[in-house]
Structures are given as C-alpha cells and as structure tokens.
Amino acid sequence: MEFSGRAALVTGASRGIGRAIAVELARAGAAVALVGRDAAALEESADACRAAGGDRVEIVRADLAEQSAVDTAVRTALGAFGRVDFAIANAGISIDGLILRLRREELDRQIDVNLKSAVYLAAAVAKPMLRQKAGSIVFISSIVGLSGNPGQSIYALTKAGLLGLAKSLAKELGSRGVRVNAVAPGYIETAMTATLPEAAKAQYLNTISLGRPGRPEDVSGVVRFLCSDAAAYVTGQTIVVDGGLVMA
C-alpha cells in the first residue's frame, strides 16, 4: 500500500478524521492536497503530513459548499501534482435538532457541506481519473446514515445519501477503472463528538463491542486500504468502522 508517484485530495483536512487520512496517505508516499476553510488548522495538518514523511503537500482554502471552490481545489491539485489518484470527501458538519424545530438554513447548510460538496468533488475528479483509467473516490459517511439517530435526521439524510452516491458512481465509473466506496465511522473521538453529553458517551461505550471509542487513525487505515491496489476489486461498498457498535 505504497503510494509513491500518486496524488490525493482530502476535503475537511484541517482536523480530526480528515487530518488523519491526509497524514496516512502522506506517510505512504502520496502527494496530498489539503482542502478546507481554516488556514491555521490546515497549516497544522500540513506540518503533520511533512512530519510523517510527506514531501509534497499543497494547502487549498475553500468553502466546499460552493461548486466553483471545489472545482478550483481540484484544478490546484492537478496543477501542483499533475494528477489526482485519490479523492477523499470528508468535509462534514452536524447541526443537531428535532425535526419539529427544523430551521431552513440548518437544513440547507448540512446538505450543502455534507452531500453537495461530495457530489461536486466526484464530478470534478471524474474526468482526470477517467483519462488515467484509474482512481479511487472515498466518501466519509457515518453509521448514523445506516442506523439513524434521534435529533440527527438531517445529518442522517446527508450521510445516507453518500452511500447511494457511492453505489451509483461505482457502476457509472467502474468500466474505466475508477472505484468508489464509502466509509461509515462510528463513535470516533474528534472535535465533533467532544460536545456530546457525558451520558451519551457512556451509552456508546457500553454498546461498542471493543469497549473503547474510535480514533481518527482507525478510519484512516481503512481509507488507505480502499485507495490501494489491495482493494483493486472493491467498489460500491460501505465499510463500517465502529468497533462493533452497529451490526447488521
């Protein structure tokens, strides 16, 4: 699973799972484009990539809810590296709330960031990947997209949408060697989950078979596999990384 001579683009790369994925791919030898809005946090991610051995790192500030910004990010990566082999759609937000209190702006923002940005990324990288006759697109979804969760109906909607998107694009692009998969993390210790009430954290820990919360690195290793030639015959799949929290 060595990626020397290959290039990756990771959205939401400023922290948490996105940063861990970028570092994992950089450690494997890939050039990495880090895409997000927080310039200072992206610099920290870039430093982490370099510390892991990555010698080709590009920072791209972008509001991923805008298609033009996503297109620009992909063009920047292509200009810097000459190719994009791996595209990881990790950007995401969660605005919790009961459906009876739904606010239109919260609905739109989650759909824009969690779902539309992934569609924009896939559309932008599809052309260069098809020309290369190779590529791997990975959508970072959530177990909430599989199981649902009270108070997270819109978040679940967007994360479930990524699963259908992965399956459809796998069929659409597979004949030209482009693979599309999704990863559904469970309770992973990140800034997003740090705000969970202690009672909710305890409930998760009591349910997780492995008895511990996940780490961003638990997810990044799976993404590295999906990008690698070891997964050359894997497409249209959802890989659950939850320590046994949800079992179908």
Token representation of residue 141: 């979804």
Angle between helices 117-132 and 67-81 (to 10 degrees): 30
Tell me which of 3.40.50.300, 1.10.8.100, 3.40.630.10, 3.40.50.720 is the CATH number of domain 7-241. Answer: 3.40.50.720
Measured CA to CA, the distance from residue 167 to residue 164 in angstroms comes to 5
Give the pLDDT score at 182: 98
Instruction: Decide if 204 is catalytic.
Output: no
Predicted TM-score of the model (pTM): 0.94
In sequence order, the 6+-apart residues with CB closer than 8 A to the CB of 196 are 204
What are the angstrom distances between the C-alpha of 237 and each of 6, 182, 227?
Answer: 23, 6, 13
Give the pLDDT score at 198: 82
Find the largest Cα–Cα distance for the chain: 51
Measured CA to CA, the distance from residue 63 to residue 203 in angstroms comes to 34
How is the chain split into domains, by residue range?
7-241
Residue matched to tokens 């924009």: 120
Question: How far apart, in Å, do the first and last CA atoms of the chain sit?
Answer: 29
What sign for the dihedral angle of Cα 240, 158, 237, 90? negative
Token representation of residue 223: 């993404």
DSSP state of 114: I
In sequence order, the 6+-apart residues with CB closer than 8 A to the CB of 17 are 90, 140, 185, 188, 190, 216, 219, 220
Residue matched to tokens 């990626």: 3
From the candidates 120, 155, 187, 204, which is the catalytic residue?
155
* DSSP helix/strand/coil, 23: helix
What is the pLDDT tens value at each position of the chain, 248 positions in all?
A: 699 999 999 999 999 999 999 999 999 999 999 999 999 999 999 999 999 999 999 999 999 999 999 999 999 999 999 999 999 999 999 998 999 999 999 999 999 999 999 999 999 999 999 999 999 999 999 999 999 989 999 999 999 999 999 999 999 999 999 999 999 999 998 877 777 778 778 888 889 999 999 999 999 999 999 999 999 999 999 999 999 998 86
